[in-house]
Amino acid sequence: MKHDRFHGRNPDKGRRCDAPGCPEPGEFRAPGPRQSGFDGPGDYHWYCLDHVRQFNAGYNWFAGMSSDEILAAQHPVHGWDRQTRAFSPTAAIDGSPRWADFADPLEAISGRARANDSKPAQRDDGRFVTPEERRALSTLGLPLDADRRALRMRYADLVRALHPDRNGGDRSYEARLQLVIEAY
């Protein structure tokens, strides 16, 4: 493996430096006018070493942010301020485990999941319900014995309540709506 002296150098692939009038190859990528986001990776400028150094000297990542946003972005745990589903107190299964009973917290979480999924669930008509079907019914808020009519009605009610076109444009329920659609 050959190590290059400059991290981030992309060997010349026929690109020229984007600086006006520079004949050097554009080997270093710099953020362009369109930032990366939902629509893709964004646009980039390709510069030679001298021009990327000049670009980096004048680049301000915090441009356009308020002082509170800058302070939040500089916080050591920025982006880690929410609990993941697996480590939330309920872990989407049941009440909190007694952590003192386990040497490893992952054993507590996996034990709860196994205990919940291993219980055979049976409907009143005698048909067994798979763990996947139980999760879907739970997502929709239906009992195990729900019939097709109740399923369709509950699905329609939830879509009406959660869809942004029906709830005044509130997009905060999109993740829940996606879960409801997958469960249906």
Residue found under tokens 């020229």: 16
Mean pLDDT, rounded, of the chain: 78
Whether 142 maps to a domain, the answer reads yes
Domain count, the chain: 3
Question: What is the average per-residue pLDDT within 60-79?
Answer: 83
Say yes or no: 103 and 135 in one domain.
no
29: nearest Cα among 6, 46, 48, 54: 46
On the question of pLDDT at 182 being above 60, the answer is yes
Per cent of the chain over pLDDT 70 is 73
Convert the pLDDT of each residue in 22-53 to its tens digit: 999 888 888 887 777 666 777 888 899 899 99
Rg (CA), the chain: 26
Verify that 89 and 137 share a domain, yes or no. no
Mean pLDDT of 87-116: 62
User: What is the average pLDDT across 58-78?
Assistant: 84
Structural domain containing residue 140:
129-183
Q: Is 146 among the domain residues? A: yes
In degrees rounded to 5, what are phi and psi of residue 113?
A: -65, -45
User: Are residue 90 and residue 76 in the same domain, yes or no?
Assistant: no
Q: Are residues 89 and 76 in the same domain?
A: no
Of 14-28, 69-83, 99-113, the range with the highest mean pLDDT is 14-28
Within this chain, do residues 91 and 59 fall inside the same structural domain, yes or no? no
Residue 94: its pLDDT value, please? 53
Q: Is residue 124 part of a domain?
A: no
pLDDT for residue 149: 93
**Could you tell me if 29 and 58 lie in one domain?**
yes
165 and 112 inside one domain:
no
**pLDDT given at position 21:** 93
Nearest to 140 by CA among 177, 94, 183, 90: 183
* Same domain membership, residue 93 and residue 34: no
Mark whether 55 and 109 lie in a shared domain.
Answer: no
101 & 144 share domain: no
pLDDT at 13: 74
Q: What is the pTM of this model?
A: 0.37
